[in-house]
């Protein structure tokens, strides 16, 4: 049961991310939220922190030609009653659907007081310009 609920959280987050819906992203996170990318840890302490970060990250993605992200693979690799670890592969795509970057990632979805949300993400670039 926890795997299904946690998977739905990730799918909702990707849909919100693609729709540029920061409130939908916030609803799919638990805070503090930690991200490890490019050798750096970033802690997003609160919804307000995510709102500020969202503006910067969306502008950066649009500057590189990003239109949407496809979730290629999502697999639960460990699970308990209040936490599920997933491996993901996702691809950034341009407006015409052309993929340009693919990432492998580990996401941890947790249950905090009855709210399931993504609490940790670690990603790395696995393929460029498929």
* pLDDT of res. 121: 98
The CATH label, of 3.90.75.20, 3.40.50.1860, 3.10.450.50, 2.10.260.10, for the domain at 2-128 is 3.10.450.50
Query: What's the predicted TM-score (pTM) here?
Result: 0.92
Residue closest to 89 by CA, chosen among 102, 107, 76, 108 = 102
pLDDT confidence of residue 13: 97
User: Would you write out the chain's pLDDT as a tens digit for each of its 130 residues?
Assistant: 799 999 999 999 999 999 999 999 999 999 999 999 889 999 999 999 999 988 888 888 988 899 999 999 999 999 999 999 999 999 999 999 999 999 999 999 999 999 999 999 999 988 786 5
| Cα(77)–Cα(79) distance, integer angstroms | 7
């Amino acid at each position: 049961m926890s795997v299904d609920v946690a998977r739905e959280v990730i799918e909702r987050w990707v849909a919100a991310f693609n729709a540029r819906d920061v409130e939908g992203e916030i609803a799919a996170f638990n805070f503090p939220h930690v991200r490890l990318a490019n050798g750096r840890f970033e802690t997003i302490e609160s919804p307000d922190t995510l709102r500020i970060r969202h503006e910067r990250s969306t502008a950066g993605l649009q500057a590189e030609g990003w239109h949407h992200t496809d979730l290629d693979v999502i697999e639960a690799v460990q699970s308990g009653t209040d936490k599920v670890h997933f491996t993901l592969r996702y691809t950034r795509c341009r407006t015409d659907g052309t993929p340009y970057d693919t990432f492998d990632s580990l996401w941890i979805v947790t249950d905090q007081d009855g709210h399931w949300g993504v609490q940790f993400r670690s990603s790395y670039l696995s393929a460029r310009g498929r």
